[in-house]
Structure 1
Amino acid sequence: MSNRIETTRPLLLVLAVALGLTGCAGQKPVPEPPVELPGQFSVSGEVQMENRWWRAFEDPRLDQLMDRALTDNLDLRASFQRLRQARAAADSQASGLFPSVDGNAGAERQETDSSGSDTFSAGLSASYEVDLWGRIQSQVQAEEYRVQATRAEYQAAAVSLTGEIANAWFQLVEQQGQQALARRQLETNENLLSLIEARFAAGQGGSADVLRQRQLVASSRDRLNSIGAEIRILENQLSVLLGRSPGQAGLPVSDTLPELPALPDTGVPGELVRRRPDVEQGWRQVQAADEDLAAAISNRFPRLTLDASLRDSAEDVSNLFDNWLATLAANLTVPLVDGGQRRAEVRRSRAVLEQRVQSYGQTVLTALQEVEDALAREQQQKRTLASLAQQIRLAEASYRQLRTQYLNGAVSYIEVLNALQDQQDLRREQLSTRQQLLGYRVSLYRALAGGLEVPGTESERPTPTTENDEA
């Protein structure tokens, strides 16, 4: 008995020292991003913005497109499958926290010159690594953070998709409005051409006036053709975003842009950092890198593995479970010489963590910039739109006055033509500017948007199945 105690003392001593050192491999706290947040944004409204921000435009056609895109867009579906991959990887890593148990069975027949004998065997074996330093737990936690980062990436992709849908829809509506405007302008130009031709026939005008007006009519018709081609391109773009082949989406038709909603409450930058999914993705990647560093540090310390097995063999299957042979073993593996591999891995993991921290800080800065840029562009666009409205009023008054003077023979037709072209150009520019203003508001909503609840997110963890079910 004393000999057995003496032989087990070295192993017990090593285990005691190992348990006493638990915690030495603990990671440092995750550092804060190297970014100083401002106290507030330059401009803010009072309307609270909901996650489905596009509803602020009160456009049921846009609502319908968004619902279809969030369900059927193929890029978003692919992003969801990446989320499922991340969840499966985390579940696989978590299996290391539990023992692995294997069963085995066998049969053997030995033949001699005069007779033969059968031997049957069965057994169970189990293996378990004691997580002395938290290495396995750190690896599991790192994968959980990657799942959260991938979920945030999925939500960011959904926000980006809704922005693309809104911009493409407003551009399509604008082009359809431009088409209706071009038709009205063509009708105006054709009516004026008839008037000029009548004056020329009566000897009250020159042939140059007729030619100039015919050129304007031809230009108006060419503009209609160009607008039609642009409409088809935008319809193809929207169809693909909806997960349909070009021309197969059955898009709604509208030529009236919605009014600009009231400016939303931008909140404070600190709230934005906590709300935006791409910022959350960056932070989760920082946390995952920190856990990877902890695992790399822990990997430099000894590992304790417990192995157990039960085996039996018999010449008759009915006697197979009568005499079990059980074994239990503990193995302590201590890294001695590895050429500096583990130390290098620690340095690499620490550098990855620092990289993630800096990237996270850049993501925060970019988020703040996007909000401020959208606010600045919207304010400038509102001033431009107000100026255009005033210019249109003046251009219309000038055209009416010059047209009357031309009919009375007081001015040349070239002045009337210039005034007409200025008025029509301003009308087209006004419509384009309104669409750009809506686009800047979409950019603001995207910059302020939080995590968007997307169909399928809650089902990322599939129902557990057995190996036979998978087969």
Structure 2
Amino acid sequence: MEAPIENPQQFSNSGNRDLPDTWWTSFDDPALHSIIERSLENNLSLAANQQGFLAAMAVVKREKSFLIPDISAEARSGISRPEPDFAGGENTQIGLSASYEVDLWGRIRAGIEAEEYRAQASYYDYQAAAISISAETALTYYRLVAARQQLQLAENQIQTNEEITRLIRARFTGGQIRAVDILRQEQLLQNTREQKVIYETDIEILKNQLALLLAKPAQNELMVKTDSFPRLPELPQTGLPLELVRRRPDVKQAYNLVLAADRDMAVAIRNKYPRLSLNLQGQARSNNFNNIFNDWAYTLSGNLFAPLITGGRLKAEVSRTEAVKEQVLLQYGQTVLTSFREVEDALIREEKQKERIQILEDRLELSQKTIRQLRTEFLNGLSEYLDVLLALGEQQQLQRDLITARQNLIEIRISLYRALAGGLELEEVEEPQFN
């Protein structure tokens, strides 16, 4: 079944490097690789998805059992007083019975196929969850790296601002600076101290988030030593949009749900047809355990059931399943369109983010030159300290903005990898193979 969408055009950009299923290895960051592996092994949400898949596989086995006759055994024993009893005995009875529905119209097999497609969809949901967990772990990890960089920068800025405060206080005693300039410098110093508190808070919260992804209590200390961003890898090969449809597990999950809904509709249609079932019973009865196997009775019967008047119930069920099929087909189309958009958005954002980082770097360089010039003019009495203060505040903000921009660039690349990623082959769960 095809998605109800127009044929997509090629993506706006593409690299030449193949993207591995373990996409995080592209960053060449051993610490990141280790922590993602731990999250995939320990994350409780992912483990819950795994159990959901196992439950779906059990449902498939349950539905397949309807193709096999049901066989049951029965044993009864009773004592009647006085002897012989009023009915002439028969107080011990054993027997076997078998029942089997002949799948004349393929109703049972259609139900099995529906559950097989759902199990396949559950497997792809598990893979999609693994990709989400790995991406969330990487995002949290690099946000922690950024917060540490920001904290180190804040500490350096505090030291710089404290030194400048001492310097201008000394100049104030010589009458070379106004008291208001000291207050403004103190305000800038307090602002950087506030930034330090914010980043210290961010670091602790991000550690807790990382601990949750690793299925550890928030109080546990995590050893994350990396304090620098990796070099951004080359742009991966995006391929054609239709290749993305065949690769992404969330898209494949949505497609299998469409196929399952189609089989559900087939079951609903075939429920309107007659059903044929066969029953076989064998029994032995006796008043004496020693003679229980001497006399047997056998019964073979066939039952034909055909719904005649159901008040429109079966027809309504067909209409319901048909509507559900159309619903999941439209949802599948939406999932495909969303996958195209996520890739295209990430490509555009990365290109523009690189431009923004270059502009920030140029602005920071100009700001540093401006501060050096203003300091010289201030020391020579050619400019007010307010000009130096404003330039210093702008420079320190640019330094913080540059760290955030580099962090955002890494996050954009992670979102691109996530949008392009195929299924992760995890040892715990193998892809089901159905005939």
Normalised by the length of structure 1, the TM-score is 0.88
1:83, 1:460 within 8 Å by CA — same for their partners in 2?
no
CA–CA separation in structure 1 for the residues paired with 2:221 and 2:58: 34
Structure-2 change in CA distance of 1:412 and 1:105 (3 Å): same
- RMSD between aligned alpha carbons? 1.8
The amino acid that maps onto 1:50 is P
Residue aligned with 2:186, SS: helix
CA–CA separation in structure 1 for the residues paired with 2:126 and 2:92: 54
The amino acid that maps onto 2:149 is G
Residue aligned with 2:307, SS: coil
The amino acid that maps onto 1:150 is S
1:173, 1:255 within 8 Å by CA — same for their partners in 2?
yes
1:111 aligns with 2:81: yes
TM-superposition CA deviations, 1:240-282 (whole Å, max 9, x none):
1221221315241332122211110001111100111110111
1:164 aligns with 2:136: yes
Structure-2 change in CA distance of 1:121 and 1:113 (3 Å): closer
The residue aligned with 2:149 is: 177
The residue aligned with 1:255 is: 227
Equivalent residue for 2:384, pick from 383, 405, 412: 412
2:258, 2:332 within 8 Å by CA — same for their partners in 1?
yes
The residue aligned with 1:202 is: 174
Equivalent residue for 2:270, pick from 298, 319, 326: 298
The amino acid that maps onto 1:369 is R
Equivalent residue for 1:63, pick from 18, 26, 33: 33
CA–CA separation in structure 2 for the residues paired with 1:61 and 1:249: 16
Kindly state the Cα deviation for residue 36 of structure 1 after the two structures are TM-superposed. 2.3
1:430 aligns with 2:402: yes
1:152 aligns with 2:124: yes
The amino acid that maps onto 2:224 is P
TM-superposition CA deviations, 1:339-359 (whole Å, max 9, x none):
111111111111111111111
Kindly state the Cα deviation for residue 113 of structure 1 after the two structures are TM-superposed. 6.7
Residue aligned with 2:105, SS: coil
1:270 aligns with 2:239: no
1:363 aligns with 2:335: yes
1:310, 1:326 within 8 Å by CA — same for their partners in 2?
yes
2:4, 2:333 within 8 Å by CA — same for their partners in 1?
yes
Equivalent residue for 1:53, pick from 23, 29, 41: 23
TM-superposition CA deviations, 1:3-57 (whole Å, max 9, x none):
xxxxxxxxxxxxxxxxxxxxxxxxxxxx421112324211101110011111111
CA–CA separation in structure 2 for the residues paired with 1:251 and 1:146: 40
Kindly state the Cα deviation for residue 207 of structure 1 after the two structures are TM-superposed. 2.5
Kindly state the Cα deviation for residue 117 of structure 1 after the two structures are TM-superposed. 5.8
Equivalent residue for 2:188, pick from 216, 219, 222: 216
1:94 aligns with 2:64: yes
Equivalent residue for 2:283, pick from 311, 329, 333: 311
Kindly state the Cα deviation for residue 437 of structure 1 after the two structures are TM-superposed. 0.7
Residue aligned with 2:113, SS: helix
Residue aligned with 2:80, SS: strand
Kindly state the Cα deviation for residue 89 of structure 1 after the two structures are TM-superposed. 1.4
The amino acid that maps onto 2:353 is Q
The residue aligned with 1:14 is: none
Kindly state the Cα deviation for residue 405 of structure 1 after the two structures are TM-superposed. 1.6
Identity of aligned residues (%): 45
1:111, 1:117 within 8 Å by CA — same for their partners in 2?
no
1:123 aligns with 2:95: yes
Structure-2 change in CA distance of 1:146 and 1:114 (3 Å): closer
> Gaps spanning 5+ residues in structure 2: where?
none
2:117, 2:259 within 8 Å by CA — same for their partners in 1?
yes
The residue aligned with 1:40 is: 10
1:325 aligns with 2:325: no
CA–CA separation in structure 2 for the residues paired with 1:401 and 1:34: 63
2:120, 2:432 within 8 Å by CA — same for their partners in 1?
no
Kindly state the Cα deviation for residue 305 of structure 1 after the two structures are TM-superposed. 0.2
Name whichever of 55-64 and 172-181 sits farther off.
Answer: 55-64
The residue aligned with 1:134 is: 106
Residue aligned with 2:298, SS: strand
Name whichever of 115-124 and 128-137 sits farther off.
Answer: 115-124
The amino acid that maps onto 2:6 is E
TM-superposition CA deviations, 1:93-145 (whole Å, max 9, x none):
11111100001111122222788967322111000000000000000110111
The amino acid that maps onto 1:439 is E
Name whichever of 228-237 and 381-390 sits farther off.
Answer: 228-237
2:14, 2:238 within 8 Å by CA — same for their partners in 1?
yes
> Gaps spanning 5+ residues in structure 1: where?
1-30, 462-471
2:281, 2:298 within 8 Å by CA — same for their partners in 1?
yes
1:243 aligns with 2:227: no
Kindly state the Cα deviation for residue 212 of structure 1 after the two structures are TM-superposed. 2.0
Normalised by the length of structure 2, the TM-score is 0.95
TM-superposition CA deviations, 1:413-458 (whole Å, max 9, x none):
1111111111111111000000011111111111111111234213
Name whichever of 230-239 and 442-451 sits farther off.
Answer: 230-239
Residue aligned with 2:73, SS: strand
The residue aligned with 2:44 is: 74
Paired residue total: 431
1:374 aligns with 2:337: no
CA–CA separation in structure 2 for the residues paired with 1:411 and 1:196: 14
CA–CA separation in structure 2 for the residues paired with 1:220 and 1:259: 28
Kindly state the Cα deviation for residue 315 of structure 1 after the two structures are TM-superposed. 2.7
TM-superposition CA deviations, 1:157-183 (whole Å, max 9, x none):
111111111111111110100001111
CA–CA separation in structure 2 for the residues paired with 1:279 and 1:417: 54
Structure-2 change in CA distance of 1:110 and 1:308 (3 Å): same
Name whichever of 312-321 and 298-307 sits farther off.
Answer: 312-321
Residue aligned with 1:110, SS: coil
The residue aligned with 1:343 is: 315
Structure-2 change in CA distance of 1:118 and 1:345 (3 Å): closer
1:84, 1:460 within 8 Å by CA — same for their partners in 2?
no
CA–CA separation in structure 2 for the residues paired with 1:346 and 1:205: 87
CA–CA separation in structure 1 for the residues paired with 2:242 and 2:114: 25
